[in-house]
Structure 1
Amino acid sequence: MDQAPTRFRIVPDDYHVPYAGTAADGRKFFLSDELFSRDSSYVGLFLWKADGTFDEVKVDKVTRPAGLPPGQAASANADKLVAARLAELGKYVLEPIDVEPFTKEIDNITFGWEVSQYEGEYSIHIEPGDFIAYYEPWDGLGYDT
């Protein structure tokens, strides 16, 4: 592929992508409580307009679970916060979504889906934490962790 991808698919699963789909207002969403930087964990709600273009990010800093090795993703055990963010979506549907990659800086931390290239191969990985990476054909059916 000679050009960076402009769209990719996120498919909900039982591993790192439990919450992806369409909100009651038609926006596409991805919600994770596994986002992390060196010392912090985050619950992040990524939102795209109905056409898959970036809309907004809602981020909450939470306590990183004790004893978790640096560089390892894990649930932040923020079930009430996750439930509150899901409630904001109204009646949502978990389903594959086709969206554009984006990044946004919040408090000097990059959040979003970042496009990168290594040895001529493009990938799209989640930030912060880089624990999900999608590759061509961008169908969302498999990702590296």
Structure 2
Amino acid sequence: MEHDAQGFSRRGLMVAGAGTALAVTVVAGCSSSDGTTAADPGGSPNASPTTSTPKDGSLAQLADIPVGGAVSATGPDGKPVIVAQPTAGKVVAFSAICTHQGCTVAPQGSVIKCPCHGSTYDLATGDNTGGPAPSPLAAIPVTVRDGAVVEA
């Protein structure tokens, strides 16, 4: 086996180079130009709308929340919130912080899901329905005023 002046074999250098290329490819594959990541359920084409950013101080506009679905929002304190409309006209909100290890949960179809360890939560109640989460999401009292969902 041939070695260069520093004692590395050509085969060893090729293996190291291939490993580096693979690592770069994997890291690049975890994100996209629109800010979603492989663990971000918002990147799924079948997911519910996942972000609401009204400029009027509300959490979301009722018209932007699908019936039987939810959106992610930011509370007045800057913390992530889930706002759901389980049935037409009924609106509920929860902290978007997973009770397992503090990851940010997001709506995924008709459930709320943690991308870190797979915990799931009921859209209407915030109760944990699967995964390692030990307790439900914290409820946030909300009301609808002039079509906007605001903290009560």
Q: TM-score, normalised by structure 2?
A: 0.28
Q: Greater share of strand residues, 1 or 2? A: 1
Q: TM-score, normalised by structure 1?
A: 0.29
In our comparison, the structure showing a higher alpha carbon Rg is 2
